[in-house]
Amino acid sequence: MAAETQPADRRLLEVKDLRKLFPFSRGLIRRVRGEVKAVDGVSFHVNEGETLGLVGETGCGKTTTARCVIRAIDPTSGQVLFRTQDGPVVDMAALQGGHLRAVRREMQMIFQDPFSSLNPRMTLFDLVSEPLYNYRVGNRREREDRVAELLRLVGLRPEFMRRFPHAFSGGQRQRIGIARALALNPRLILADEPVSALDVSVQAQVLNLLKGLQAQLGLTYLFVAHDLSVVRHISNRVVVMYVGKVVESAPTRRLFTAPKHPYTEALLSAVPVADPRARAQRIVLRGDAPNPADPPTGCYFHPRCSYAADVCRTDTPVPREISPGHVVACHRAQDLELKGVHQLGASKHDGS
């Protein structure tokens, strides 16, 4: 993949040591009793024109991370460095008011739920032109032309502009959401589980659309998902999160074929493969992910890890780059031989 060889100055977004703590309180007097470390020192970068997949299970902090990046919520600490169109790199995490608004124009979001993310009381035109209106782009006439163009771009008919969202199916609504996100010609799109609410055949349509748009418009995606097959399909590089931390990040092919973190291995192994001949002994993890309000000592994964050594119980592993572009936070990254998707019993698809 092209992204593997890109120099560092092609970085569009760089997240450094991002943290988001949610204080929780108990009892009548609402004293703060502790903090949930939803995002706990996350660092990664996204190169221009690539798709970075951010994967993990429920509660791992992937959505919170994405929302902190676009400042839908405010991070507790850390930096979100974004290279703007005009050149200068700004820290999204520190921007306020008008500056934030100006930079956010280059960053848009696609939501998971195509039903709740579109205001049902607005027509397609109102929905898609809203960003244009908010940033005072063009007059009504020009906005209408732009909306028509956007609708064509995402595979919807411009004649539908006067319809309300209730006229459309889930996949079509997701296209509307994409059209809205594209209205201001953003450079970075944060896609938060954009296809997980869709049926498989519709999911394929939307994934193809996203890929096509990327090629056509030179978009950069930060793609948050829990479905590893989808992530493999769309991403150039993948970041795996577990309980608020990045455990592994690597170019897609490398991560799927030669994972270096036991959690990644287990995650890959757990995905049911659509081939009955590939039924194999899976690595079935014991128990549940720990509560982020009360995580275990040492490596957060050690209670469920079959490779855990003594050091894992006491020391927090530091992310290390073990080969170019492949970062792992595991004490035993170097000495473990882990299985990728091909060794996990998934036979080569015979393409029938």
Partner 1 sequence: MSELGIAERASEAEERVYLAPQWLLMWWRFRKHRVAVFSAIVLALFYTVALAAEFLATSDPGLPAAKRSLLPPQRVHFFDGWRPTLPYVYAFSGARDPVSFKMVYEVDKSEKIPLRLFARGFEYRFLRLIRTDRHLIGVGGDHRAEDVISFLGADEQGRDIWSRLMIATRLSLSLGLVGVILSMTIGIVLGGVSGYFGGIVDTAIQRLIEVLISIPGIPLWLTMAAALPQDWTVIQVYFAITIILSLIGWTGMARAVRGRFLALRTEDFVTAARLSGAGQIRTMFRHMLPSFYSHIIASATLAVPGMILAETSLSFLGLGMRPPAISYGVMLQQAQKIQTVALAPWVLVPAIPVIVVVLAFNFMGDGIRDAADPYGQ
Partner 2 sequence: MQQTHTASSRAAPEAPPALLSVRDLATHFPVDEGNVVAVDGVSFDLYEGQTLGIVGESGCGKSVTALSIMMALSRPGRIVKGEILYRPRGQDPGPDEVIDLAALKPDGKEMRAIRGAEIGYIFQEPMTAFSPVHTVGNQLIEAIRLHRDVDGKEAKSLAIELLRQVEVPLAEQRLDAYSWELSGGLRQRVMIATVMASNPRVLIADEPTTALDVTTQAQILDLMRSLQQQSGMAIIMITHDLGVIAEMADYVAVMYLGKVVENAPVDDIFHAPKHPYTKALLRSIPKITEAEEELATIAGTVPHAYSRPEGCLFHPRCPEFMAGTCDARTPPPLPVSPGHHVSCFLYGDGG
User: Beta strand pairing status for 237-242 and 245-251?
Assistant: antiparallel
- Residues 168 and 175: their CA atoms lie apart, in Å, by 10
Task: Confirm or reject binding of residue 157 to partner 1 (CB under 8 A).
Answer: yes
Q: What residues numbered 196-225 form the site for partner 1, per CB under 8 A?
A: 202, 205, 208-209, 212, 216
Q: What residues numbered 39-78 form the site for partner 1, per CB under 8 A?
A: 70, 72
CA-wise closest residue to 318 among 12, 17, 76, 86: 17
Question: Which whole-number Å values give the CA distances from 262 to 58, 192, 267, 352, in the listed order?
Answer: 18, 25, 9, 33
Contact 237, 225 (CB under 8 A): no
C-alpha 195: how far from its chain's center? 12
Task: Confirm or reject binding of residue 323 to partner 1 (CB under 8 A).
Answer: no
Q: List the one residue from 33, 121, 277, 349 that touches partner 1 (CB under 8 A).
A: 121
SS3 220: strand
Looking at the Cβ atoms of 24 and 133, the one nearer to partner 2 is 24
Contact 192, 66 (CB under 8 A): yes
Looking at the Cβ atoms of 15 and 338, the one nearer to partner 1 is 15
Q: List the one residue from 119, 297, 314, 334 that touches partner 1 (CB under 8 A).
A: 119
Q: What is the closest distance, in whole angstroms, from the C-beta atom of residue 178 to partner 1 in the complex? A: 11
Return all residues near 8 (Cβ < 8 A) that are at least 6 apart.
Answer: none
Q: What residues numbered 193-252 form the site for partner 2, per CB under 8 A?
A: 199-205, 207-208, 211, 226, 228-230, 232-234, 252
Task: Confirm or reject binding of residue 163 to partner 1 (CB under 8 A).
Answer: yes
- Binding region for partner 2 (CB under 8 A): 57-58, 169, 171-172, 199-205, 207-208, 211, 226, 228-230, 232-234, 252-253, 256, 266-279, 282, 284-285, 287-289, 341-342, 346, 348-350, 352
